[in-house]
Amino acid sequence: MSLVVGWLMEDFVAIASDGKAIAKDERGSVSLAGEELPQFHFFTPNIIIAGVGDREFFGVLLRSLQPLVEEGLGDEQLFEYLATAIPLAAQGLLRCAPTHNEDLRLMGYDAAQKRFRCLAWTRSENFVEHEILYGRVLVMGLGEASKMLARELAVGRLSQIKSLDEVRPTLEGVIREVSALVPERINGNVTSCLIYREDRADSTLANEASG
């Protein structure tokens, strides 16, 4: 996937992506390959993983985690189980097939801690875990200029919204705007998702937007 933009707040997490993936040929050259590809995956209705990098790596990673997900369904510790398993599985896959770039995010509701969380791992840091703080705009992708532009646009647009209903269209709009400026990297076939707490999300968003 070439661009993923998300937003983590106390009572929800949202993410949008442009639907492209990268692939490598036998010489190790990296190129964009395919559209309408999975840019994020639901482990459960409340837990998702997103990734930027080699689509084969991402697919194998998902398959390796599926038995854990199936066994842990209904267990409030599932988010933490995945947080432990993802970097170990990613490090193991690298020993079998090194990748050019890989950037992973685990997002959603941690039932054990009773809060929304976002954890980040990158290939360049050997998948050492980083926890993202509330209010942060999350940007992954290829090309520093594209990511910088997407972050600046997202911060500005998200600071102006007043309703939870505006979150997904705003994130999708950021990707489409970057797409118009960097067409060789990104397209407009955008998909998005939102996980939230119905009892608090709108009130929290209103408070953050006015702060």
What mean pLDDT, rounded, does the chain reach? Answer: 82
Looking at residue 206, the DSSP 8-state letter turns out to be: H
Percent of the chain with pLDDT over 70: 78
CB 55 within 8 Å of CB 21: yes
pLDDT in tens, the chain (211 residues): 478 999 999 999 999 988 665 444 445 454 555 443 447 889 999 999 998 877 778 888 999 999 999 999 999 999 999 999 999 999 998 877 666 567 899 999 999 999 999 999 998 888 999 999 999 999 988 778 888 999 999 999 999 999 999 999 999 999 888 888 775 555 557 889 999 987 654 545 544 433 3
Report how far residue 153's alpha carbon sits from residue 163's, in angstroms, rounded to the nearest whole number.
Answer: 18
Structural domains of the chain, ranges and CATH numbers in brackets: 3-210 (3.60.20.10)
Judging by beta carbons within 10 Å of its beta carbon (0-12, 13-18, 19+), is residue 6 exposed, middle or buried?
buried
For 7, the token pair is 């937003």
Q: Write b or e for each residue in 165-185: b if 16 or more Cβ atoms lie within 10 A of its Cβ, otherwise e.
A: ebbbebbbbbbebbbeebeeb
- Measured in degrees and rounded to the nearest 5, phi and psi for residue 140 equal -130, 150
Q: Which amino acid is at 96?
A: C
